[in-house]
Amino acid sequence: KSNTVAKTLGGKKYFGSATDNPELNDTAYVATLSDNTLFGQITPGNSMKWDATEPSRGVFTFAAGDAVAALAKKNGQLLRGHNCVWYNQLASWVTAGNFNASTLTSILQTHCGTVVSHYAGQMKDSWDVVNEPFNDDGTVRSFVFSDALGLTSYVTTALVAARAADPAAKLYINDYNIDSAGAKATAMINLVTSLKAAGTPIDGVGIQGHLIVGEVPSKAALIANYEAFTALGIEIAITELDIRMTLPETPALLAQQQTDYNTVISACKAVAGCVGVTIWDYTDKYSWIPGVFTGQGAALPWDDNLIRKPAYDGIIAGFTN
């Protein structure tokens, strides 16, 4: 049975996967990842982040990111940039103690401008310019740039630099726990509203979608929230979908996971401004979940042996039904 997600969709929405450089030595893994009738898009999981691209001030290293970009090109897949500025995996030299506010602004401009410019023309999709700006209660996440410059200033600096560096790339702000209405989604809506009012370039909100089996919001709640974002005059994408469970896997949990993947995909399908869905890698073999959430995992639609799980059928049904 051939399942051609991209063909089925007629190019209207993409389905994609994150990947990471160490995995690119795994031949069987790469073969499935490179099936562009299945995955129409890829995102580098780590190799375009600040610690990877500017480990020392003014010293840029693009080899690992370039390897993912080259794979996307070879496969005819869209490429999503991830990310320009984030509190995590920031290079250790970027500290408030070392620089004043105006220098930090310049450091941010140079970083986003240089990295986005490096991939200009190759980034046929979008950039997660700003990653995870909010805490779960909707307050501004504290880190060097928000502390020194304030939310609006650092976000604007990053977006303006990214637009100048690659006018063709769609520019996103990306966060988790903004799947359905709540304080964090409201904070994101308020931020986008103020950026739009100021004429700051912003094209989309990335809804990461790190979810839990059996705890996924209803399709109606997802759609209502997705539409609250697209009503602002932006697009949305589901950028990092995975749906984890407490191990061990059971048939009941796998069946619920199939339902949950179907719910998210079909909600995106129902909203015109939801441009696509990316899973945060496709196989449990390379999922970040077990390393961070003890006792949890099995969050992806392919198992540790690269065998499709019921979740895969939930995804296909979500895109096609």
Please identify every residue annotated as catalytic. 240
Of 46, 75, 180, 263, the one binding ligand G3I (CB under 6 A) is 46
**Is residue 283 involved in binding ligand G3I (CB under 6 A)?**
no
**In this complex, which beta carbon is closest to ligand G3I, that of residue 269 or of residue 284?**
284
Q: How far is the CB of 11 from ligand G3I (least distance, A)?
A: 27
Nearer CB in complex with ligand G3I: 47/75: 47
218 belongs to the binding site for ligand G3I (CB under 6 A) = no
Tell me if 41 contacts ligand G3I by CB under 6 A.
Answer: no
Contact indicator for 133, 173 with CB cutoff of 8 Å: yes
| Secondary structure of 178-231 as H, E, C letters | CCCCCHHHHHHHHHHHHHHHHCCCCCEEEECCEEECCCCCCHHHHHHHHHHHHC
Whole-number Å distance between alpha carbons of 80 and 124: 8
Instruction: State yes or no: residue 146 binds ligand G3I (CB under 6 A).
Output: no
Report whether 313 contacts 306 (CB < 8 A).
Answer: no
Could you tell me the sign of the dihedral formed by the alpha carbons of 297, 36, 32, 260, in that order?
Answer: positive
How far is the C-alpha of 191 from the C-alpha of 186, rounded, in Å? 9
Closest approach of Cβ 124 to ligand G3I, in Å?
A: 20
The neighbour count for residue 220, using CB atoms within 10 Å, is 12
Instruction: Give the residue with the Cβ less far from ligand G3I, 14 or 280.
Output: 280
Smallest distance from the beta carbon of 126 to ligand G3I, in angstroms? 15
- Please report how close the Cβ of residue 89 comes to ligand G3I at its closest, in angstroms: 6
Residue 209 near ligand G3I by CB under 6 A: no
Judged by CB under 6 A, the number of residues near ligand G3I is 8
When binding is defined by CB under 6 A, the residue of 288, 302, 312, 319 that contacts ligand G3I is: 288
Name which of residues 56 to 95 contact ligand G3I (CB under 6 A). Answer: 88-89
Which residue in 255, 226, 252 sits closest to 239, CA to CA? 226
Choosing from 208, 257, 258, 266, the residue that interacts with ligand G3I (CB under 6 A) is 208
Residues from 107 through 126 that contact ligand G3I (CB under 6 A): none
Residue 273 CB partners (closer than 8 Å, separation 6+): 226, 227, 229, 230, 234, 235, 236
In DSSP notation, 249-313 reads P-HHHHHHHHHHHHHHHHHHHH-TTEEEEEES-SBGGG-SHHHHSTTEE--SSB-TTSPBPHHHH
Question: Given the complex with ligand G3I, which of 37 and 88 has the nearer CB atom?
Answer: 88
45 binds ligand G3I (CB under 6 A): yes
Complex with ligand G3I: residue 182 or 310, whichever CB lies closer: 182
- Cβ neighbourhood burial of 25 (10 Å; 0-12, 13-18, 19+): exposed
CB-wise, 46 or 77, nearer to ligand G3I? 46
CB of residue 244 vs ligand G3I: minimum separation in angstroms?
A: 11
Least distance to ligand G3I from the beta carbon of 24, Å? 13
Query: Which residues are at the interface with ligand G3I (CB under 6 A)?
Result: 45-46, 88-89, 131, 208, 240, 288
